[in-house]
Structure 1
Amino acid sequence: MVDAYEDPGTPQTRGGWWYLWWAVARQGARPWAAGGLGTVWMVLLAVQPYMMQRAVDEGLLPGRTGVLAAWTAAMFLVGAVTAWLSILRHRTMTRLRMDASFRTSKLVVEHAVRLGAALPRRVGAGEVVTVGVGDVSAISDSLSMVGPGVASIVLYGVVAGLLVTVSAPLALVVLLGLPALAVVTGPLSRRLQGVESEYRERQSVLTARIGDLAGGLRVLGGLGGKALIADAFRADSRRLREQGYRVASVASWVQALAVGLPTLFLAVVTWIAARMAAQGSLSIGQLVAVYGYVAVLVGPVAFFVEMVYDLNRGVVAARRVVRLLRLEPEPDEGTLPAPEGPAELCDPVSGTRVAPGLLTALAAARPADATAVIDRLGRYGPTDATWGDVRVDAVPLADVRRRILVADNEADLFAGPLREAVAAG
C-alpha cells in the first residue's frame, strides 16, 4: 500500500476511466497477483463438479468403494487448497482497494495544499468534503473487478469448455448467457451513471450549504435570516432526496438482476440437463456435474452485474476527483528576494501600515473590508501591498509564507515552520 511519506505518483487526469486504470497500474504486480489468485481459485471451484462426476460414475454407481474414497479425498484436498487461495485472494484484493483509497486521499490532500488560498475561490467546501468522504470509497470499491473480474471471465471460458465435453447444446446456452446479460444490463448501467452524476452534484451543493450554515449561524440569527436559509436548506434536501430515490430505483433493478438472472440461468440449464438425462443423453454423474458447473457460474454471473454497478459509481467518483486534480495553482511569478530583516507591510488600497515589532489593530465598518486588507497583506489573492521596498507578490510565495502568517480566529493548531514563524515574530 502507499506509504504516508511516499510520492503517490502523477495521476492520469484525462478522464474517469483513465484515472481508474492509473490507480490499478500504479500498484505494480499486485493487480496481476489478484487476477492470478482469483483465477486459480475460481478454476478450482469448477474442478469440483468434474471430480464429483467421476466419483459418481466410476465409484458410487458401480459400487467401487476404493475409487469413491480416492475421489472424495481428492475433492477434500482441492477444497482445502481452494480455501487457502481464497484467503490469499481476499487479502490481496483488500490491499489493492486500500492502496487506491489511500493514494487518492493523499493526492487530493496534497493538491488542496498546493492550491492553497485559491481552493475556496475555485471549489466549494462541500465538493472537497464529498470527494474526500464518498468518492474515495467508491473508487476503491470499483477496483474489485481487477481480481474477481478477470477470474470470472476465465472461469466462464473454462466451464464452457468443460460443458462441450458433456453436451454442445448446454455449452451453447452457457456461452450465450453472458451476452444476453450485457444486453439486459447495458441500458441500466448508462442510466445509473447519469443519475449518479446528478446526485453527486446535488450532494456537494447541500454539503456546502451545511458548511455555510455552521460558519454563519450567529450572523444569520442576528439578521433574522435563519428562517429563509432553513427553507432553502429544506428545499435542497428535498431535491437531493428525490434524486436519491431515482438512484435507488435504478440501483435496485441492478441488484435484483444480480440475484435473479443467475438463478434463472441456473434453472434453465438444469432443466435442459435433466431432460437430457431422462432421455439417456447424459449419465447421472454428468447431470450432477452440469448442475455443479452452472452453480459455480452463478457467482461470476452475479459479479458481472454487480461489477457494472460498482464501475459506474467508480467512474462518476473518479471524474469528480479528476476535476479537482485538474485545477492549477495560481502562478507564482515572484523572483525578488524578501527583505533581510523585519520590514513594514503596507496596503496602498486602504492605507494600512503594519510596522514590525508593534501590535496593530485594524477596525473597519464591515468585517469583510478588514478581511480583504489582511488577505492582501498576506498575499491570499491579487495584491498591491508592499513589504519594505518590494511588492509582496514580487517575492516567491514560499518566502512569503515563511515570514508572514495569516491566521483567523479558528486557527487553533500550528506545527513546524508555522510555529517557528510565530515564535520569530
Structure 2
Amino acid sequence: MAVPVPSGGDVLRRAVAGQRRDVALGSVLGAAHQAGEALVPVLIGVAVDRGVAEGDLGALLAVLGVLAVVYVGLSFGFRFGARAGERAAERAGHELRVALVERVLHPGGGAEEGRLPGALAAVATEDARRVGAVTMAVLSGVAALTGLLVGAVVLLRISVPLGLMVLLGTPVLLWLGHLLSKPLERRSETEQERAAHASGVAADLVAGLRVLKGIGAESAAVARYRATSRDSLAATVRAARAEALSNGTVLALTGAFIAVVALVGGRLAAQGDISLGQLVSAVGLAMFLLGPLGVLSWVTTELAQARASAARVAGVLATPAAVPYGTASLPVPVRGELLLDGVTHAGLREVTLRVSPGELLGVAATDPADATALLRCLARETDPAAGGIELDGVPLRTLDPAALRTAVLVAHHDAALFQDTLLANIAPPDGGGGVPAAMAAAGADEVARTVPHGLATAVGEQGRSLSGGQRQRVALARALAADRPVLVLHDPTTAVDAVTEARVAAGLRAFRRGRTTIVVTTSPALLAATDRVALLDEGRVVDTAPHAEMIRRHAAYRTAVLS
C-alpha cells in the first residue's frame, strides 16, 4: 500500500468535503440568517413609510409581526448554523489528528525523520485545529456572500446606482483582502514552524530533565530554549503585525465603502428619488453590510492561516515511507532462520551471518553505531544499501513491514513505557497468557512486588516513577510476552545489578528455548548464556564461537566485553 501524497490544497479540500453535510447545513442556515438580517432594515423602512408617513396602524402592526417572526428565524438560524459549523470544525480537526497519528505510526516509518516529537505534536494539534476551522470559515463566507447578495438586490430595487455600487464594489474589496492576506500567509507559515520547533525543543528538554540535572547543564538548556523561544516570539510578532495590517486596512476600506453608500443614499433621498422609508432601509443596509464584509475579512485571515497549516500537515502526510512495501507472504509457520548476506549499511561492511532456528545468538559490537545499524536493518526500519536479509528464505525487502513485525520483534535499548499500569505496559494487545512467565524471566516480578499496588500500579509518563533498572526489566518482560518467533534484544540489562543480570540471563535462555533470539550486547553474563557469539568489529563479523572461546581468541572481544 503506497503512502498518499497530498498537497496543502488537498488537505483543505478533504477537510471540507469530509464534513460536507454539516458544512452544507451550516451554510444554508447561515445564509438564511444573513438574508433575514438584510431584510430587517427593509421591514423597518416599510414600517416608516406605511405606519409613520401614511399613518396606517394596521400595516404598521402587520410589519412588526413579520419582523418578530424574522427575529425568531434569525435566532434559530444562527444557533443551529453555528452548531453545525463548530461540529464540522471539531470533526475535521479530529480526523486530521487521527490521519497524522496513523502516518507517524505507519509501519513504513519515515514521518518522524528530521522532526522533533514536539514538532509533530504541534502539527497534530494546532495545525490540525486551524485546518479544521476552515469548515467554519467556508460556511461563514457563504452566509456573508448571501447577505451581501440580498442587500445588493434590495438596494437595486430601491435604487439602481446603490445596488450597482454594492455589486461592483464588493468583489474589489474581496480582491484587495486577498492581496493583503498574502504576507500574512507567508508569515503565518514561519510562525507555525518556529512555534512547532520551540515545542519540540521544550519536549526534548523535559524528557531529558534528569540527565540535564545530573550533568549540571540546566543553564545551557535554559539558554537554548530562551534563544528558540525568542525566535518563535519574533515570528509570532511579525505574523501579528501582518494580521493587524491586513485586518486594519480591510476594515478601513470597508468603512469608507459603507460611508460612500450612505452618502449616495442620502443625496438620492434629498433629491426625492427615494422615500424616507427607503432612505432608512438604505442606511440600515449600509450599516448591515459592515457585518458580512467584516466576516469576509475574517474568512480571508482564517484561510491564509489554514493554507499555511495545511501545507505543514501535508508535509507530514506526504513524507515517503522509509522502506517500501513488499508483496511476499510470511512463511507458515515461521521457523526463525535468519540469513544476513553481504549486508552493507552505515558502518556495516558485507556482514554475512546465519542464525539457525531456535538459536540463542549473542552479537558483540566493538562500535555501538554498528550495533544500531544492524538493529535498524533487522527491524526493517531501513533497508541495507547492499546485500540482504532473509527470514526462512524470504527476503525482508519483499515483505510488508507490518507483517514482518508479527514475526520479528526488535526491542531497542531505549524502549519507552507508557502512562498506564504495570500490567498494561507488559501484556500484549492480543491478551496472551504468558505475562507471569515473561515477568519471571525478565525479573519484572520483583518490580511488581516492590511497587505499591502490584500490577495495578501506574508507572507514570515514560515510566518515570520506576528506577532505570525497573524500567528495563518491565520493557524486557513486554518483549518476551509478545512471544514472537524471532526476538532481537539490544542491551536489555545495562541498568540492573550483577545478580539480577545473571538471573535474567538464565530466565531469558529458558523462556526463549526453541525460538530464535539475538542479543546485541557486551554484557558478559548475557553473552555467556548464549549458544554462540558473533564478534562485529570494524563493521564486519570477524568470528563466531561460544563466549569462553571468543575471550580466548580475540583481544578486541575482551576489550569490548570485559573492560
Which band: TM-score by shorter chain?
A: 0.7 to 0.9
The aligned counterpart of 2:13 is 21
Q: Is 2:110–2:320's contact at 8 Å kept on the other side of the alignment?
A: no
Letter in 2 for 1:309: T
Amino acid at match of 1:422: A
Q: Is residue 410 of structure 1 aligned with residue 420 of structure 2?
A: no
For 1:214, give the aligned amino acid: V
1:325-374, Cα deviation, whole Å (9 max, x unpaired):
22232213373634735636687868999898898887767765554444
Return the letter of the residue paired with 1:401: R
Matches within 5 A, 1:44-193: 44-121=36-113, 123-182=115-174, 184-193=176-185
Measured in 1, the distance between the counterparts of 2:50 and 2:404 equals: 84
Q: Distance in 2 between matches of 1:123 and 1:305?
A: 34
Counterparts of residues 135-284 of structure 1 (less than 5 Å): 135-182=127-174, 184-220=176-212, 227-257=219-249, 259-284=251-276
Aligned residue for 1:7? Answer: none
Residue 313 (structure 1) shift: 0.6
Letter in 2 for 1:424: D
Preserved CA contact (<8 Å) 2:108 2:401 = no
Q: Deviations 1:224-268 (Å, cap 9, x if unpaired)?
A: 655445433322222221111110101112333455444444333
2:309 aligned with 1:317, yes or no?
yes
C-alpha separation between the residues in 1 aligned to 2:10 and 2:99? 15
TM-score normalized with structure 1 length: 0.83
Give unpaired runs (5+ residues) of structure 1: 1-9
Asked if structure 2 preserves the Cα contact closer than 8 Å seen for 1:334 and 1:397, the reply is no
2:291 pairs with 288, 295, 299, which one?
299
Q: For residue 382 of structure 2, what is the aligned residue in structure 1?
A: 381
Q: Report the more deviating stretch, 325-334 or 35-44.
A: 325-334
Does residue 332 (structure 1) correspond to residue 336 (structure 2)? The answer is no
Match of 1:422 in 2: 481
Shift, 1:215, TM fit: 3.7
Larger Cα-atom Rg: 2
- For residue 175 of structure 1, report the CA deviation from its aligned partner: 2.9
Helix, strand or coil: the match of 2:162? Answer: helix
CA distance in 1: counterparts of 2:221 and 2:368, whole angstroms: 21
Task: After superposing the two structures, state which structure 1 stretch, 216-225 or 49-58, moved more.
Answer: 216-225
Quote the Cα distance in structure 2 between the aligned partners of 1:311 and 1:35.
17
Provide the residue aligned with 2:544 in structure 1: none
The Cα shift of 1:295 comes to 2.2
Could you report, residue by residue, the CA deviation over 1:174-232 in whole angstroms, capped at 9, with x for unpaired residues?
23432442354343211111111222232333333233323444445556655445433
Q: Structure 1 residues 344-353 or 21-30, which shifts more? A: 344-353
After TM superposition, the structure 1 stretch with the greater mean CA deviation from structure 2, 255-264 or 84-93, is 255-264
User: 3-state SS of the aligned residue for 1:405?
Assistant: strand
Distance 2:261 2:392 in 1: 85
Q: Secondary structure at the match of 1:382?
A: coil
Point out the structure with the larger strand share.
2
Paired residue secondary structure (1:402): coil
Amino acid at match of 1:315: R
Bigger mean CA deviation after superposition, 389-398 or 241-250: 389-398
Q: Give the drift of 1:414.
A: 6.0
Distance 1:62 1:396, change over 3 A: closer
Q: Is the 8 A contact 1:364 1:370 kept in 2?
A: yes
Kindly provide the amino acid, as one letter, of the partner of residue 157 in structure 1: L
Q: Which residue of 2 aligns with 1:397?
A: 401
Worse-matched range after superposition: 72-81 or 15-24? 15-24
SS of the aligned residue for 1:58 comes to: helix
CA offset digits 1:109-143 (Å, max 9, x no partner): 22222255433335443432121011111112222
Larger RCO of the pair (alpha carbons < 8 Å, separation 6+): 1
Cα distance in 2 between the residues matched to 1:353 and 1:212: 39
Three-state SS of the structure 2 residue aligned to 1:333 is coil
Higher mean Cα deviation, 81-90 or 27-36?
27-36
- SS of the aligned residue for 2:410 comes to coil
Corresponding residue for 1:33?
25
Q: Distance in 1 between matches of 2:331 and 2:211?
A: 39
Q: Give the direction of change, closer, same or farther, for the CA distance of 1:117–1:152 in structure 2 (3 Å limit).
A: closer
Q: Judge which range, 393-402 or 64-73, deviates more.
A: 393-402
Q: Distance in 2 between matches of 1:111 and 1:285?
A: 61
RMSD: 3.4
